Structure formats: C-alpha cells, structure tokens
C-alpha cells in the first residue's frame, strides 16, 4: 500500500496539473468560435448526462487544426520559434560551458560561492530582469551610452526591438539552466584521467577533447534540453525585447487568445506546440534515465 501511495502521488500531480488542463485545451481546440462567454461552443454539459456527451462528441471537428495549415503565419511562427530556440541554445552553450568549466576547476572553498552567484538571479523577479535589459539595450540605454563615451560609436545602435535583443534576453535568462548540469558533470570528473592522458602524450587541448568533453556530454545534453524546451514557447522576452519582425509562437498564441479572442484556434496552436515539445521532452527523459543507469 505504501508503494502504491508513493507511486500515486506524482501521477495524481501530473493528472491534476497536466493531463486535465491538456484535455480542456484539446476540447476547446475542437470547438467553434462564438460570441459568448467563454467565446467557443459546444461546451460539454455534465448535467446533460449521456445524451450531452454524445452530442458533444458528434459536434467535434478538426477545422481549427486544418486552418493552421492554410495560414502562413502559424507555420512561419513555429519555424521561427525553432530557429530562435536552436540558436539561443547554441549561444547559451558557448557562454555556459566555459563558466561551468571554470567553476569546476576552481578551488573547492570557492565553488559554493560561485554556485550561489549563478543561482542569485533567480532571487529576483523574472519580469524585472527582462525589464532591466530594456533599460540596458535601448537607444538611450547604458550600453549605447558606454559605447559612445568610449568613442566606439557615434550614433546609438538599434538593439532593442530586434532579434538580437531576444537572443541576449534568452541567453541571460536561461544561462543558469545550462551552467548547473554541466557543472554537475564536470565536478565529478576524476582529475587523474587528465593526468593519465597527458602522460600518454596528449596536449591539454587533446586531453580536454578526448576526456573532459565526452565525460561532460550528459550535462551538455541536459543543459541544452533545459534551455531549448522553454525557449520555444517563450512569450515575455520576445514581447518586451523583440520587435514586429520577431515572430514566435508564444506571441501568436497570446494574440489569438487575448486580442482576437479566438480560443479554439489558440487552443489548436497550443496543442500543436505541445506535440512538438513532446519529442525533446522524451529525449531528455531518456538521457536522464541512461545517466542514472550508468551511475548505478
């Protein structure tokens, strides 16, 4: 009974916070738009019993999903989101790996302090941190003022309301998610393996490539998934830092829900986005399972 209870708790959590909301969104995506409150129909009426249930399923259709294939906006938004997520993940890896490597090679008494500095931004509101980048990247912001004071530029650079600003915001926001798993993998690295590789004639660069990089691969994969998955559906960063040319599916989803009030189409967009995210989520879980099996 205790084993059943232990297993049931996470399944009930997933049922309440994932499966039930997903079924609600799926039901709305199969409904029709209506000038009502809420703005869709048909609605499942539990009081109608079996007849209401049969009526509900008889009126379902997939017109909203078919509509997504007829408008270029949606598939371009999906492709643009995938591109921004991939590029952001790569940039985050370029920045995060050296930081994690330096932390793992630092003296042991300094590692908790460095780890706290990485986690420290989480103590501040995510929205405030994004707003601070608006003050840094604007035409009259700190960055342009500094570059003009140093004489590097004569006129302010247009960074705000561009895809570049979105990349900066995403890399800054999700950098800890890349650093922490890589640092966890590098911290467990046995230094004697590097010494053995150098004794066998490898240079430091060759020892890094043949020993350190393969042993940190699980951390790299985990960090890439932790950055890539939330970036695809990101809404706040492209809305505040990006411009009209920055097309991401999170912005389209928000516009459909709150501006157009087309809940069925917006729900269809959300369902397709979730189906896209299932692939990296499953791959991430398999990587974590293989890592646990290897450690066991």
Domains of the chain, by residue range, sit at 70-295
Top pLDDT among 146 and 32 is at 146
pTM, to two decimals: 0.85
Given a cut of 80, whether residue 296 has pLDDT beyond it is no
Round the average pLDDT of the chain to a whole number and report it: 86
The per-residue pLDDT for 57 is 66
Q: Using one digit for the tens of pLDDT, what is the confidence trace for 244-264? A: 788 899 888 888 888 888 888
CB neighbour class for 256 (10 Å; exposed up to 12, middle 13-18, buried from 19): buried
Instruction: For residue 259, give every residue at least 6 positions away whose Cβ sits within 8 Å of its Cβ, in sequence order, or none.
Output: none
Mean pLDDT of 195-218: 85
**Least confident span in 59-68, 126-135, 202-211:** 59-68
Confidence (pLDDT) at 42: 65
pLDDT, mean of residues 146-166: 90
φ/ψ of residue 147, rounded to 5 = -65, -40
Query: At the topology level of CATH, where does 70-295 sit?
Result: MetI-like fold (1.10.3720)
Residue pLDDT, tens place only, 56-97: 666 666 888 888 888 888 999 999 999 999 999 999 999 999
CA distances (Å), origin 225, targets 133, 166, 203, 242, 270: 24, 19, 31, 23, 20
pLDDT interval class at 49 (50, 70, 90): low
Confidence check: pLDDT of 18 > 90: no
Q: Is the pLDDT of residue 278 over 70?
A: yes
Residues with Cβ < 8 Å from 101, sequence gap 6 or more? 182, 186, 212
179 contacts 103 by C-beta, under 8 angstroms = yes
225 within 8 A of 280, measured Cβ to Cβ: yes
* Residue 207 pLDDT: 85
Residue 41, strand partner residues: 32
Residue 85 is predicted with a pLDDT of 94
Is the pLDDT score of 231 beyond 90?
A: yes
Q: Tell me the HSE value of 74 on the side-chain side, using a 13 A CA sphere.
A: 19
């Amino acid at each position: 009974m205790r084993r059943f209870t232990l297993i049931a708790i996470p399944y009930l959590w997933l049922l309440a916070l994932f499966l039930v909301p997903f079924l609600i969104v799926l039901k709305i995506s199969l409904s029709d738009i209506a000038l009502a409150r809420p703005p869709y129909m048909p609605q499942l009426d539990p009081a109608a019993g079996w007849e209401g249930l049969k009526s509900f399923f008889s009126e379902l259709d997939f017109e909203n999903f078919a509509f997504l294939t007829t408008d270029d906006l949606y598939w371009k938004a999906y492709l643009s989101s995938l591109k921004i997520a991939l590029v952001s993940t790569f940039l985050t890896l370029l920045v995060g790996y050296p930081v994690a490597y330096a932390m793992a090679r630092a003296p042991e008494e300094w590692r908790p302090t460095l780890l706290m500095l990485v986690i420290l931004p989480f103590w501040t509101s995510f929205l405030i941190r994004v707003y601070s980048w608006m003050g840094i990247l604007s035409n009259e912001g700190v960055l342009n003022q500094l570059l003009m004071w140093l004489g590097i530029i004569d006129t302010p650079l247009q960074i705000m309301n561009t895809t570049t600003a979105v990349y900066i915001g995403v890399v800054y926001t999700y950098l800890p998610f890349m650093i922490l798993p890589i640092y966890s993998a590098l911290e467990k690295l046995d230094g004697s393996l590097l010494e053995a590789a150098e004794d066998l004639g490898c240079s430091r660069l060759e020892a890094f490539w043949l020993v350190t990089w393969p042993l940190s691969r699980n951390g790299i994969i985990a960090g890439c998934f932790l950055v890539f998955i939330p970036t695809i559906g990101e809404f706040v960063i492209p809305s505040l830092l990006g411009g009209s040319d920055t097309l991401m599916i999170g912005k389209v989803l928000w516009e459909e829900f709150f501006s157009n009030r087309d809940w069925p189409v917006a729900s269809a967009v959300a369902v397709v986005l979730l189906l896209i995210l299932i692939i990296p989520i499953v791959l991430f879980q398999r990587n974590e399972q293989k890592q646990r099996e290897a450690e066991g």
